[in-house]
């Protein structure tokens, strides 16, 4: 006699007891539980119902099975089961990011497809976190009887349904009521069924396919990549082209070929603000078999889009980093546009890098993976230059258009000339010229709010968030000081120092203050501010960009969300403000980030018939990073950056791992970091073949966040199985330590210095 048992991972586990637990399958659930199934189990001494995912199913001899195995309570429907591919990605995330099993599960399926524990009639059961959104669909199944004589509405319903099934909503729009439909169903003329509600997010975008015409450089890139689509093996490539070189058109041609081969495509973009433009290009070219996945959708929308993909009704999926987990089958192409962006890295568990997941998925599906950027990550370009990826370069703008002419404005001279404002005299003059010519401008300031510092004029005290070790930022519309990390608000606005009673001075500038200055100096200008504060409403990104595209605004002022991927034919002037603070930021990627940001935003100008120009305000106009960005000389920047990385032993010459420690008492956190470092050093000494440099412990740049103190260890290592095993061994040893209090441990292989 055999018993069918399962090994499951439970929800709400900490990393220290996140192991597999065995359960029996009751007879009522036999045939319904497989690897990847979501189940409800009795857990712990109190047998509290807890969600779990099945990772293994085993047939055991009854005599060999463990004694007193608990029974599963319930199992979710088959359609919610993780496919083998998604289950493999769960294993990948668990191994690479040191998350719990269930954190990995939650990354690959949307909230609406998840279940929660409930009790119904005294019995533990699973309930969907989101009720199914369904609609009634009517199908013509017979002819309309002539006796009694049918009415005009009944005839209209039958004629409408001769073209195919329609929903109740579609029929209601043409004046056919539910009463009419019910009568026809009773007569056997129609049948009705419930199905998942369709959600066409792109109904307003016309399907207007045009031949995809490539310039000679683009054709060469496509010709080099097309064989990699066709040979059924995994490949990776970097498409590196100057801003405006037409990388998107190469994408479209690659997608067209992928669909011709009967395969499907995933297109990743780094920010929600870039999704609308990409969707418009894809829908107008390829039609409605398109789905989207990103966090701006509500839970119902995300679930319906996920089901659309799962049921095979989408050929192309576009979205931010989470779209890499879309339940798409037969993937032939994965594109990661603007691959250099930090938003491809998750900042909460599981702390994955979409680059790594995309490479894993391309290997699983035998797909072509294309990274694309005008300013690739140093690691990506190094891999391409080393032959790990195929390197394709576009050196010319599409249509032979010139790159924008770039000038610097020395803000030291501006101040000496008596202009204390944040926007220089020349910038205002050039903006005015654009207004008179009917042309548009984009201004980048990667700092939101009005004033960024409130400081006492007498004692120098800076008002900081009580929960985070950062200054509070003045937001004028709210007349309040706000923390950009935890959301703490101080209102009414303080005028006196809490330490000495002296007068508070407000200084520094953000997008709100620059918006006010522009309105004062350019009274006729229509200014659109785009930052986290102004885009927190649903569909705000799409609405604002559409308004700017229709030329309802003259100036688009914003943070980094306006710096990349946007294409407006009337934009001829780009201005860069407040860039100096980023040049001297923490982290080994600081220069790379500034070079990318400045290069990308400069590239927003002159993308059509009108030539572009750019102005960079700075106090260090001769800084080599700014000079290289102005020249759009990525190759020269890369040579400088790769030499710095090699000298300092930074990626790509090692892996860079931050082990973070978080807790309520600073002494406890510091002690935990020190003890973990000692345990790791002891174990590393036993494995001299595993390369490791251990730095710290030290406080993080922001030592307190959300009321918790934060310390770190920095590890320079090789991210391979041997090192991860060493790290897991240390985590297990730390869990056994008899410390008075322990701090939470967080591991991040994608950080450039802090969590």
Three-state DSSP class for 453? strand
The residue count of the chain comes to: 755
Q: Any idea which residue has 């190469």 for tokens?
A: 250
| pLDDT tens-digit readout, 14-43 | 877 788 999 999 988 988 999 999 999 999
CB 337 within 8 A of CB 269: yes
The two three-digit tokens of residue 69, written as one number: 């195995």
Binding-site residue set: 456, 459, 465, 468, 483, 486, 497, 500
Q: Class assignment of domain 405-450+509-645? A: alpha beta
Q: Where in the chain is the domain with CATH 3.40.50.300?
A: 216-400, 405-450+509-645
- In eight-state DSSP terms, residue 290 is E
DSSP string, 27-49: GGGTTS--TT-EEEEEETTTTEE
Give the other-Cβ count within 10 Å of 682's Cβ.
Answer: 11
Closest CA to 139 of 160, 165, 172: 165
Cα distance between residue 292 and residue 205, in whole Å: 14
Q: CA-based Rg of the chain, rounded to a whole angstrom?
A: 29
Closest CA relative to residue 666, chosen from 700, 708, 706, 714: 708
User: Which ranges of 193-314 would DSSP assign to H, the alpha helix?
Assistant: 216-230, 247-260, 275-286, 299-310
Provide, for the chain, the percentages of residues in helix, strand and coil under a 3-state DSSP scheme, each rounded to the nearest 5: 35, 25, 40
Please give the DSSP secondary-structure letter assigned to residue 538: T
For 109-135, the DSSP string reads: S-GGG-EEEEEETTEEEEEESS---EE
- 295 CB-near residues (< 8 Å, 6+ apart): 272, 320, 322
Asked if residue 483 lies in contact with residue 457, where contact means CB atoms within 8 angstroms, the answer is: no
Domain boundaries for CATH 3.30.70.600 within the chain? 655-748
Q: Alpha carbon of 686 to those of 676, 680, 690, 726: distances in Å?
A: 16, 10, 9, 10
pLDDT given at position 201 = 66
Distance (Å, rounded) from C-alpha 140 to C-alpha 176? 14
The structure tokens listed for 732 are: 């297990």
Q: In the chain, which stretches have pLDDT less than 50?
A: none
pLDDT given for residue 710 in this prediction: 96
Q: Residue 11: how many CB atoms within 10 A of its CB?
A: 21
**With respect to CATH, is domain 134-196 assigned 3.40.50.10420?**
no
Are the C-beta atoms of 53 and 102 separated by less than 8 Å? yes
User: Dihedrals φ, ψ of 369, to 5°?
Assistant: -110, 120
In this structure, which topology does domain 216-400 adopt according to CATH?
Answer: Rossmann fold (3.40.50)
- Report the SS3 class of residue 610: coil
**Tokens, residue 232:** 């059924």
HEC profile of 741-754: CCCEEEEECCCCCC
- Closest Cα to residue 457, out of 423, 496, 405? 496
As assigned by CATH, the class of the 655-748 domain is alpha beta
Cα 251 to Cα 239: distance, rounded to the nearest angstrom: 10
Cβ atoms of residues 658 and 695 within 8 Å: no
- For the stretch 441-477, pLDDT in tens is 999 998 888 888 889 989 999 999 999 999 999 998 8
The count of other CB atoms within 10 Å of the CB of residue 652 is 17
Beta strands at 368-373 and 331-337: parallel, antiparallel or unpaired: parallel
For the whole prediction, is pTM greater than 0.85?
yes
Annotated binding site for Zn(2+): 456, 459, 465, 468, 483, 486, 497, 500
**208 vs 205, 288, 290, 530, 578, CA distance in Å?**
9, 11, 15, 30, 42
Residue 256: exposure state from Cβ atoms within 10 A (0-12, 13-18, ≥19):
middle
Pairing of strands 708-717, 655-663: antiparallel
């Amino acid at each position: 006699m055999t018993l069918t048992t399962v090994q499951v991972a439970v929800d709400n586990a900490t990393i220290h007891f996140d192991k597999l637990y065995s359960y029996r399958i009751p007879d009522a659930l036999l045939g319904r539980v497989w690897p990847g199934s979501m189940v409800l189990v009795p857990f712990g001494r109190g047998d509290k119902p807890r969600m779990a995912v099945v990772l293994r199913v085993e047939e055991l001899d009854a005599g060999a099975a463990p004694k007193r195995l608990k029974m599963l309570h319930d199992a979710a429907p088959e359609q919610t089961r993780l496919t083998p591919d998604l289950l493999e990605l769960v294993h990948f995330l668990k191994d690479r990011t040191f998350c719990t099993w269930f954190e990995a599960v939650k990354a690959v399926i949307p909230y609406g497809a998840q279940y929660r524990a409930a009790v119904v009639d005294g019995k533990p059961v699973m309930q969907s976190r989101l009720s199914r959104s369904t609609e009634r669909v009517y199908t013509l199944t017979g002819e309309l009887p002539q006796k009694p004589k049918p009415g005009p509405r009944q005839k209209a319903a039958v004629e409408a349904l001769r073209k195919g099934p329609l929903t109740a909503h579609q029929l209601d729009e043409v004046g056919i009521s539910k009463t009419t439909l019910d009568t026809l169903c009773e007569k056997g003329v129609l049948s009705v069924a419930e199905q998942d509600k369709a959600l066409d997010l792109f109904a307003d975008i016309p399907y207007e396919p045009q031949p995809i015409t490539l310039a000679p450089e683009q054709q060469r890139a496509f010709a080099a990549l097309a064989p990699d689509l066709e040979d059924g093996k995994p490949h990776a490539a970097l498409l590196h082209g100057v801003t405006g070189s037409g990388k998107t058109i190469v994408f479209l041609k690659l997608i067209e070929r992928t669909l011709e081969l009967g395969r499907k495509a995933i297109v990743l973009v780094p920010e929600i603000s870039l999704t609308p433009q990409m969707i418009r290009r894809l829908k107008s070219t390829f039609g409605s078999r398109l789905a989207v996945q990103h966090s701006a959708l509500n839970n119902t929308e995300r679930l319906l889009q996920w089901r659309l993909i799962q049921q095979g009704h989408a050929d192309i999926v576009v979205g931010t980093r989470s779209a890499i987990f879309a339940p798409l089958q037969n993937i032939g192409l994965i594109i990661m546009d603007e691959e250099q962006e930090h938003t491809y890295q998750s900042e909460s568990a599981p702390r994955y890098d979409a680059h790594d997941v995309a490479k894993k998925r391309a290997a699983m599906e035998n797909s072509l993976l294309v990274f694309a950027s005008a300013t690739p990550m140093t690691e990506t370009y190094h891999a391409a230059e080393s032959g790990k990826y195929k390197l394709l370069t576009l050196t010319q703008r599409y249509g032979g258009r010139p790159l924008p002419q770039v000038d610097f404005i020395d803000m030291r001279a501006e101040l000496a000339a008596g202009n204390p404002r944040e926007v220089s005299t020349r910038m205002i003059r050039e903006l005015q010229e654009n207004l008179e010519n009917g042309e548009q401008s984009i201004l980048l300031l990667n700092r939101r709010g009005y004033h960024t510092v409130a400081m006492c004029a007498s004692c120098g005290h800076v008002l900081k968030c009580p929960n985070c070790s950062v200054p509070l930022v003045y937001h004028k519309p709210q007349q309040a000081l706000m923390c950009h990390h935890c959301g703490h608000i101080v209102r009414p606005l303080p005028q006196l120092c809490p330490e000495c009673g002296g007068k508070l001075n407000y200084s520094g500038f953000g997008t709100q203050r620059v918006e006010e200055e522009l309105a004062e100096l350019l009274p006729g200008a229509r200014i659109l501010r785009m930052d986290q504060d102004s885009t927190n409403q649903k569909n705000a990104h799409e609405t604002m960009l559409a308004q700017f595209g229709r030329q309802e605004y003259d100036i688009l002022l914003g943070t980094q969300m306006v710096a990349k991927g946007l294409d407006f034919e009337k934009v001829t002037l780009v201005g860069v403000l407040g860039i100096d603070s980023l040049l001297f930021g923490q982290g080994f990627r600081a220069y790379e980030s500034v070079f990318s940001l400045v290069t990308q935003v400069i590239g927003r100008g002159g993308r059509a018939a009108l030539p572009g120009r750019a102005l960079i305000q700075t106090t260090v106009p001769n800084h080599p990073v700014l000079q290289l960005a102005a020249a759009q000389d990525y190759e020269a920047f890369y040579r400088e950056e790769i030499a710095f990385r090699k000298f300092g032993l930074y990626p790509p010459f090692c892996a860079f791992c931050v082990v973070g420690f978080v807790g309520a008492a600073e002494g406890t956190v510091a002690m935990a970091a020190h003890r973990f470092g000692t345990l790791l050093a002891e174990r590393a000494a036993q494995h001299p073949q595993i390369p490791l440099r251990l730095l710290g412990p030290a406080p993080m740049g922001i030592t307190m966040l959300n009321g918790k103190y934060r310390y770190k260890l920095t590890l320079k290592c090789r991210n391979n199985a041997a090192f991860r095993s060493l790290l897991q061994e240390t985590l297990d040893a730390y869990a056994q330590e008899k410390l008075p209090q322990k701090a939470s441990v967080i591991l991040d292989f994608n950080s450039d210095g802090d969590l």
